Amino acid sequence: MAIVWVCRLGVDAYAELGRQLDVPRFECPLCGRPMARWGFYRRYLRVGIWCRRVWIRRQRCRACRRSHVVLPHGRLDEVGVIGEGTEAMVAGRGARKVAADLGLPHTTVRDWRRRFRSRAVLLAMGVAAAVVALAGTLPA
């Protein structure tokens, strides 16, 4: 199971630190007990058209003996790249054209569109709740 960790470092700083990065210890998402560090593995992270290899920390629960990865970035692509592609598709561009502009496989961009569509109602409700919390009411 993956635990997504909010890491404030940029991709370059994260990659430079490598195995020296101090990743916090988490509680097991399955049983709630504290976990111990349990090695690393390498993963690619795409930033624009370039890929960077980064070290990903693993942690293991001593109680239930399950291992978990601690991901500072939940996806292969940087959030800004996904946002740019999704924004272009919402504006009416097709997935193939967006993929060509970003230099990515069209299947990757198509999957972003599918994921966005499946979560669009939930996203809209979240935005509406934020507007109400900040402004007190929704605009007409």
Predicted TM-score (pTM) of this structure: 0.53
pLDDT tens by residue, 36-91:
999 998 887 776 667 778 888 999 999 999 999 888 765 567 778 888 999 999 99
Given a contact cutoff of 8 angstroms between Cβ atoms, the answer to whether 67 and 36 are in contact is no
Phi first, then psi: what are they for 100, rounded to 5°?
-65, -40
Tokens linked to 94? 């097709």
pLDDT in tens, 100-116: 998 888 888 998 899 88
Q: How far apart are CA 75 and CA 71, in angstroms?
A: 9
